[in-house]
């Protein structure tokens, strides 16, 4: 269906009438669900949420948090979905203004759908938990078999001469993916395997992020190149996207700053929440990949979001010399390779100094 529905002659639709119309529309199709929500919100604003949510409950796919988040995302735009969209969908389902009576759904049917939905959700959760446990067990086996000493052609190419916190399997680099806020026996959630070519694989079925608390937040995995000495630590901590970037930053700081590697830009904030929970007095410096060739620059966007979501945190991206073409360079490891470790140090130290002086 196209975005805007053609204007049709019809009586004025109030919210009560719109609720009646909803009984003629199935919420099971996601596109229809979205169109109805946008149309209701465009016409009635926030007052329509309850009607849309109660209608959404009739779908086996209903999830309360997802419904609320989706409703909040609806923004009015000219030419978008309107109440006319709702009218058209309802009339396609058999609604008429002359009759204007709701299609009855029995209380028994609503209750049966609720029970079926809860049972499906419980089954999916149990399967997910089993997959996560299995992944953690397989990761422990991989980590236990890996060698403490070894050589990674990938790290050699990346200019990393003092790897920390990793192990080796032949010429593969094995990076632990840890939840440092969990008991030691449960902390290893998976491993990242980096082959000489740079190809990266994760333990299948593992959870990079997991729900925490009742606020809808998630905490996530990371790899510590060096941990703070104790929970009272109040100096800087760096969090980077990717092991090689974290290793370059740690070397540039003279191996004096505790540093963590997240595994993608979406993992920066979940990993940072773990760091903040364990070291509440520390100042956090999030190191962004400058994904300037990607729409929306997710590396910068996610790093900025992580810093803004936490207290005493800031972020920065690398800046490259204009003396040579940039050629896709995006992170602090790229800066290290192309312009030397000193260039990384020169960019990091002002931010680290601000944190040490309590200015962040």
CA distances from 122 to 16, 118, 126 (A): 34, 6, 6
> Residues 22-78: pLDDT tens digits?
999 999 999 999 999 999 999 999 999 999 999 998 888 888 888 999 999 998 888
Average pLDDT of span 170-180: 97
Average pLDDT, the chain: 92
Alpha helices in the chain (DSSP H): 15-22, 30-44, 49-56, 64-73, 83-92, 107-145, 153-157, 243-252, 268-278, 298-309, 332-339, 341-356
Give the count of domains, the chain.
2
**How many whole angstroms separate alpha carbon 200 and alpha carbon 246?**
16
Residue 313, classed as helix, strand or coil, is strand
Q: DSSP states of 26-49 as a string?
A: -S-SHHHHHHHHHHHHHHHGGGGH
pLDDT band at 107 (very low <50, low <70, confident <90, very high): confident
The answer to the question of residue 214 being in a domain is yes
Nearest to 237 by CA among 315, 330, 346: 315
Separation of first and last alpha carbons in the chain:
50
Alpha helices in 146-229 (DSSP H): 153-157
Average pLDDT of span 112-131: 84
Average pLDDT of span 278-298: 97
pLDDT band at 8 (very low <50, low <70, confident <90, very high): very low
Out of 96-105, 213-222, 346-355, least confident range = 96-105
Residue 279 φ/ψ, nearest 5 degrees: -130, 75
* Same-domain pairing of 184 and 83: no
Average pLDDT of span 325-340: 95
pLDDT at residue 3 tops 50: no
Give the per-residue pLDDT at 65.
Answer: 84
The answer to the question of residue 115 being in a domain is no
pLDDT band at 325 (very low <50, low <70, confident <90, very high): confident
pLDDT band at 248 (very low <50, low <70, confident <90, very high): very high
Please give the structure tokens belonging to residue 327: 């050629």
The answer to the question of residue 2 being in a domain is no
pLDDT band at 111 (very low <50, low <70, confident <90, very high): confident
pLDDT band at 7 (very low <50, low <70, confident <90, very high): very low
Domain end position, chosen among 105, 135, 150 = 105
* Same-domain pairing of 136 and 244: yes
β-bridge partners, 139: none
* Same-domain pairing of 53 and 172: no
Sheet strands (E) in 216-290: 217-220, 223-226, 236-241, 259-262, 283-287
Other C-beta atoms closer than 10 Å to the C-beta of 133 total 13
* Same-domain pairing of 147 and 212: yes
153 phi-psi bin (left φ>0, alpha ψ -120 to 50, beta other): alpha
pLDDT at residue 209 tops 60: yes
The answer to the question of residue 117 being in a domain is no
* Same-domain pairing of 74 and 131: no
Give the per-residue pLDDT at 10.
Answer: 52
pLDDT band at 5 (very low <50, low <70, confident <90, very high): very low
242 phi-psi bin (left φ>0, alpha ψ -120 to 50, beta other): left
Nearest to 329 by CA among 158, 156, 155, 153: 158
* Same-domain pairing of 137 and 101: no
Nearest to 283 by CA among 310, 249, 253, 309: 310
* Same-domain pairing of 211 and 85: no
* Same-domain pairing of 85 and 144: no
* Same-domain pairing of 183 and 271: yes
The answer to the question of residue 274 being in a domain is yes
Higher confidence at residue 16 or residue 223? 223
Q: What CATH number did the domain enclosing 322 receive?
A: 3.40.1360.10
Domain range spanning residue 36?
15-105
pLDDT at residue 318 tops 90: yes
Instruction: Please answer whether residues 175 and 166 qualify as being in contact, where contact means their C-beta atoms are separated by less than 8 angstroms.
Output: yes
* Same-domain pairing of 101 and 136: no
DSSP state of 12: P
The pTM for the full model equals 0.74
């Amino acid at each position: 269906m196209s975005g805007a529905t053609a204007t049709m002659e019809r009586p004025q639709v109030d919210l009560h009438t719109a609720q009646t119309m909803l009984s003629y529309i199935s919420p099971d199709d996601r596109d229809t669900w979205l169109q109805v929500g946008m149309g209701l919100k465009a016409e009635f604003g926030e007052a329509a949420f309850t009607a849309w949510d109660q209608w959404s409950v009739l779908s086996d796919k209903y999830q309360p948090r997802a419904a609320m988040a989706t409703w909040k995302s609806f923004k009015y735009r000219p030419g978008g979905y309107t109440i006319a969209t709702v009218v058209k969908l309802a009339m396609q389902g058999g609604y008429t203004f002359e009759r204007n009576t709701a299609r009855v759904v029995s209380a028994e049917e609503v209750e049966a759908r609720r029970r079926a939905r809860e049972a499906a959700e419980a089954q999916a959760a149990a399967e997910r938990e089993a997959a996560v446990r299995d992944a953690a067990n397989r990761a422990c086996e991989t980590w236990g078999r890996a060698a403490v000493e070894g050589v990674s052609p990938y790290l050699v190419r990346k200019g990393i001469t003092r790897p920390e916190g990793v192990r080796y399997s032949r010429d593969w680099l094995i990076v632990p993916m840890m939840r440092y806020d969990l008991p030691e026996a449960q902390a290893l959630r998976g491993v990242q395997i980096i082959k000489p070519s740079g190809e990266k694989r994760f333990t299948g079925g593992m959870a990079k992020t997991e729900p925490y608390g009742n606020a809808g937040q998630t905490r996530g995995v990371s790899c510590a190149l060096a941990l703070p000495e104790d929970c009272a630590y109040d100096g800087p901590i760096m969090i980077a996207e990717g092991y090689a970037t974290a290793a370059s930053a740690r070397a540039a700081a003279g191996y004096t700053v505790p540093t963590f590697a997240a595994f993608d830009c979406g993992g920066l904030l979940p990993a940072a929440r773990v760091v903040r929970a364990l070291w509440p007095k520390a100042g956090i410096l999030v190191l962004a990949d400058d994904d300037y060739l990607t729409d929306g620059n997710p590396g910068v966007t996610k790093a900025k979001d992580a810093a803004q979501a936490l207290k005493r945190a800031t972020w920065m991206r690398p800046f490259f010399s204009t003396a040579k073409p940039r050629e896709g360079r995006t992170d602090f490891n790229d800066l290290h390779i192309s312009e030397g470790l000193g260039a990384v140090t020169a960019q990091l130290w002002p931010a680290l100094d601000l944190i040490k002086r309590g200015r962040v």
